[in-house]
Structure 1
Amino acid sequence: MAFSDIFRNKRALITGHTGFKGSWLAEWLLALGAEVHGMALPPPTEPALFDELALRERLHHHPGDIRDASWVQDCIKEISPAFVFHLAAQSLVCTSYKQPLETFATNVMGTAHVLEALRQADHPCAVVAVTTDKCYENREWVHSYREEDPMGGHDPYSASKGAAEIVIAAYRRSYFSAPAGGVKLASARAGNVIGGGDWAADRILPDCIRALQAGSTIPVRNKVSTRPWQHVLEPLSGYLQLAAALHHAAAGEDAPRLRTLCSGFNFGPNLTSNRTVADLVQEVLLHWLGKWEDLSDPAAVHEARLLNLATDKAFHHLQWQPVWPFSKAVEHTVSWYRRTSADTGSAAHVTREQIHAYVEEAACLGLPWAIK
């Protein structure tokens, strides 16, 4: 069933809507006709996609901190959403080393606050709680991680996301185990995303763009690390498809399907998109002339070198699959920055244009969510 048939005129809540992924998701949901509400701190970067898309004026903006349990409970009770996309997080590995307590408080207790507020509100809704591919206990092996692999984490960020998954599972089993008439709770684990409007520090793609815009050399810290690179629209289509499937199964009182859907799902690219950081930088330079230098530091904090996701479960149970290959994901990302650099007021137009192009290509592939 097409997304527009599911989300139109429905109340959708995004926690973390001022962030990079949250802003793209808000723009897409608005295009689908949803009544979008957002709960978040102010945008974490300057510039920020949230501001470039003028989202503050186009959705219901609820400023606050998910570490404040009372505020979270009051907001969710007031909003009474039909859909919840929990994206609010401290999302940077390097920052987690500097601020471990803030990372655990936001990612673990913040998640618990959202789920507890939903339990207290006792309002039927479909919930997609977003974590990360780094929630798995990374053994640096070459095969892909599956949803049943153990949670873990070497650094505070990864550990906090593994712990968040355990919190999600505990709430599901303890309070949302008979979800047909109440909260339908799933979690989503995505690979490394790229896309226009990301200005975060210590991320390789924004680092590339900042250097290229300044005419300087791109600094590369971990050139041999391999990641499942994907355009931001790929996991967002997975989150939307998962939420739509939860809603549809609940409406049809399909208890066996709900039991399958109320679980963790990986959303990652095809294996050919598992590339090194050096590969990513070289691909960027095909679209924006420049150069890079290896600044690998043997004394740098630990970051995983190998990380791949298996997406068989999403394919079989959601009919989800990635749309854009690695080369096209990088091309669209660099194009977004180049076009908006030339015209500072064009971010909204380019963002909507890329969402439309992505949906059109998904429809050509026969993906059910894109076919009207």
Structure 2
Amino acid sequence: MENLVSNASLQSAYKGKKVLLTGHTGFKGAWLMNWLQMLGADVKGYALPPSYEGGIYQLMEPFATGASILADIRNKELLKQTVQDFQPDFIFHLAAQPLVRLSYEIPAETFEVNAVGTANLLETAISLNKRCAVVVITTDKVYENKEQDILYTENDVLGGYDPYSASKACTEIVVSSFRSSFFNPSQSLQNRPSVASARAGNVIGGGDWSKDRIVPDIVRALRNGAPIPVRNPNSVRPWQHVLEPLHGYLILGAMLYAQPVEFSTAFNFGPLPADHLTVQELVETAIDSWGSGEWNNLATPGQPHEANLLKLHIGKAMQQLQWKPKLNAKEAIQWTIEWYKQPVEKQLDFTLNQINSYQQL
């Protein structure tokens, strides 16, 4: 099992395999598409067009257009046709409405995209008469957050204050239902799909320009010589570089494909306890990495609720998958800021170099 942590073993697991990647135009999805292509996988993406300019998908778009279907995960018939035509060996499901603050503006749509969209995908997988490892990516926010200094494990109660968090908890329930009803680990899964879920913490890295996310807010302000707007400076989050959970997803996918009965379950991916930082600590480390800058506390009463304290327990992934974080919080922030310092014409190469560098750690 430990061998799957190495690049060579991941390449052996994915080279020549067909991988359907939903959400490939987004931040994490585009990084994962690059990595899978570097491993030699035959990748097909299914997602809406990018929601912002300058992301990694657009940097790689000339090389990825032939592998892309730009469509809504709620388009059930097209999704089913895509799965049937492609006959994937792996499915990584990242397509989602991923923003907490936006979920207050479009709550019903957030539930529809995240929970019903996942049900659409899993329903298409029922008809696959072959081994296929399906990894559904949710979030650290699926837990009923008690705002206490505790580490949430995979067995803790699901919940969600805001529509985004609740929709992702619903997604986990959808996964559990489909797993029990159609992909039951108690039965032989050798020639049928198997399903696992991955719950990752707050992810940072180059190429994210989403609205209302702290790293894009930091970089926009630093580039403009303006103070960084910080809404919740004292909030604690499980920050990690994007490559950390993606590495976990790849290991989980490979293990699920090889041993579907044992790995059809949920896994947390997050930093070590010492690397759960406040937003203020993240911002000040980013300023140090940039070389200049300042920030303003914009915390105001009446703004939409966001969790103040959230930490993940990652012992299950460390023990069963032999996965562990390679970068501490400071290194993750430095890698992120270095990406944004690159001129646009070098950003794609820098992305690939960071993947290569990470694999060598």
Counterpart position of 2:242: 232
In structure 2, stretches of 5+ residues that fail to align are none
CA distance in 2, matches of 1:174, 1:29: 30
Structure 2 length-normalised TM: 0.95
1:181 Cα deviation after fit? 2.0
CA distance in 2, matches of 1:122, 1:107: 26
CA distance in 1, matches of 2:190, 2:247: 23
Counterpart position of 2:230: 220
RMSD of the TM alignment (CA)? Answer: 1.1
Counterpart position of 1:81: 88
CA contact (8 A) 2:128 2:193 kept: no
CA contact (8 A) 1:153 1:162 kept: yes
CA distance in 1, matches of 2:63, 2:130: 26
CA distance in 2, matches of 1:320, 1:68: 35
1:59 Cα deviation after fit? 5.2
CA contact (8 A) 1:225 1:305 kept: yes
Once the two structures are superposed, residues 204-236 of structure 1 have per-residue CA deviations (whole angstroms, 9 ceiling, x without a partner) of 011000111111110000001100000000000
1:56 Cα deviation after fit? 5.3
CA distance in 2, matches of 1:353, 1:80: 31
Counterpart position of 1:316: 319
Counterpart position of 1:30: 37
Alignment of 1:1-372 (within 5 A): 1=4, 2-54=9-61, 57=64, 60-177=67-184, 178=187, 179-249=189-259, 258-288=260-290, 289-339=292-342, 343-361=343-361
> How many residues matched?
350
Name the SS for the 2:118 alignment partner: helix
In structure 1, stretches of 5+ residues that fail to align are 250-257, 362-372
1:273 Cα deviation after fit? 1.1
Letter in 2 for 1:278: Q
CA distance in 2, matches of 1:328, 1:205: 15
Letter in 2 for 1:344: V
1:120 Cα deviation after fit? 2.5
CA distance in 1, matches of 2:245, 2:252: 10
Letter in 1 for 2:12: D
CA distance in 2, matches of 1:54, 1:348: 10
The answer to which of 209-218 and 44-53 deviates more is: 44-53
Name the SS for the 1:53 alignment partner: helix
Letter in 2 for 1:205: V
Structure 1 length-normalised TM: 0.92
CA distance in 2, matches of 1:318, 1:344: 36
CA distance in 2, matches of 1:300, 1:278: 18
CA distance in 2, matches of 1:122, 1:261: 19
1:247 Cα deviation after fit? 1.5
CA distance in 1, matches of 2:262, 2:240: 25
1:55 Cα deviation after fit? 5.7
Identity fraction in percent: 45
CA contact (8 A) 2:129 2:191 kept: no
Name the SS for the 2:256 alignment partner: helix
CA distance in 1, matches of 2:140, 2:45: 24
CA distance in 2, matches of 1:317, 1:180: 20
Name the SS for the 2:262 alignment partner: helix
CA distance in 1, matches of 2:245, 2:62: 21
CA distance in 2, matches of 1:271, 1:302: 24
Once the two structures are superposed, residues 154-212 of structure 1 have per-residue CA deviations (whole angstroms, 9 ceiling, x without a partner) of 00000000000000000000000132321111000000000000000100011000111
CA distance in 2, matches of 1:134, 1:59: 34
